Amino acid sequence: MNEDLSALQRLLDQRYSCRGFLEKPVPQATIEEIVKTSQKVPSWCNSQPWQLAICSPEKTKVLADALTEAAMGGMQSPHVSFPKRYQGVYKERRSICGWQLYDAVGVTKGDREASHKQMIQNFRFFGAPQVAVVTTPKELGAYGAVDCGAFVTAFTLTAQGLGVATIAQAAVAGIAPVVREKLGLSFDRDILCAISFGYEDKDHPANQFRTHRAECADVIDWH
Ligand SMILES: Cc1cc2nc3c(=O)[nH]c(=O)nc-3n(C[C@H](O)[C@H](O)[C@H](O)COP(=O)(O)O)c2cc1C
């Protein structure tokens, strides 16, 4: 098989959303390599609209404390509207991956306290030593977000190639006012998501499952 394709498939197969990290920080040169490589993704008019606020381990802790406090108080104020609802197959897929996580960490059906505790881990970045917050210019609308999504995917795959584990997190964008204030982000940009990153804790219960994908036939309508 073509070597380039095999390498890409290996990265796609190996990458997963990591929810348990070691404390060890990622060197700045490695972070720069991830970003430099991810910059190669296409964007409309080559606008490259993504901007990253990358936090040091110290700043990551400050942000985690502020976000956890806001989340415990029930804050939910994203710049970009969260999905209104998941229905049909989307609801089913969401439920399956949610239960994979709950089963892995031992949250049982109806245990609201345990599921809330697990949800709150989002705001501690699942123990990642560092986090990148991804923003897009408001005026570029949905297509700016599309371009940023491509960048996020490239970031996760390049990181994987460098042995760095990642998880994209929209949950963090749900507490946008706090993220904006703590990082001094400008008002002409929308916070889209965070990417928590670091070295995986291979033994962490939350890292013991892998999600499934639909078949080609489920996602292609031939015309
Ligand atoms: C844009 C985006 C936002 C996400 N937000 C969250 C999140 O807030 N919390 C979380 O635990 N996982 C989040 N995820 C991870 C997804 O749940 C995960 O990608 C999906 O279940 C597929 O699993 P995999 O990444 O392990 O292959 C997000 C992923 C993406 C791409």
Q: How many CB atoms lie within 10 A of CB 44?
A: 12
The pLDDT assigned to 1 comes to 67
Which residue's C-alpha comes closest to atom 4 of ligand 1?
169
Identify the segments of the chain with pLDDT beneath 70: 1
Distance 217 CA to ligand 1 centre (A): 23
Tell me how far apart the alpha carbons of residues 100 and 105 are, in angstroms, rounded to a whole number.
9
Which residue's C-alpha comes closest to atom 31 of ligand 1?
168
Tell me how far apart the alpha carbons of residues 149 and 133 are, in angstroms, rounded to a whole number.
13
The pLDDT assigned to 127 comes to 98
Maximum distance among all alpha carbons in the chain? 53
- Judge contact between 201 and 207, C-beta under 8 A: yes
Tell me how far apart the alpha carbons of residues 190 and 211 are, in angstroms, rounded to a whole number.
29
Structure letter (DSSP) for residue 190: E
The sheet with strand 130-137 has its strands ordered as 51-55, 130-137, 189-198, 165-169
Q: How many CB atoms lie within 10 A of CB 149?
A: 17
Cβ contacts of residue 37 below 8 Å, gap of 6+?
A: 154, 158
* Residue extents of the structural domains in the chain: 15-82+123-208
The pLDDT assigned to 172 comes to 98
Ligand 1: residues with CB < 6 A are 16-17, 97, 122, 167-171, 193, 211
Token pair in block for residue 8: 């890409």
CATH number of 15-82+123-208: 3.40.109.10
pTM for this predicted structure? 0.98
Best CA proximity match to 218, nearest among 99, 97, 92, 86: 92
Atom of ligand 1 nearest to the CA of 16: 26
Q: Encode pLDDT of 109-148 as tens digits.
A: 999 999 999 999 999 999 999 999 999 999 999 999 999 9
Residue 191 gets the label, from left (phi > 0), alpha (psi -120 to 50) or beta, of: beta
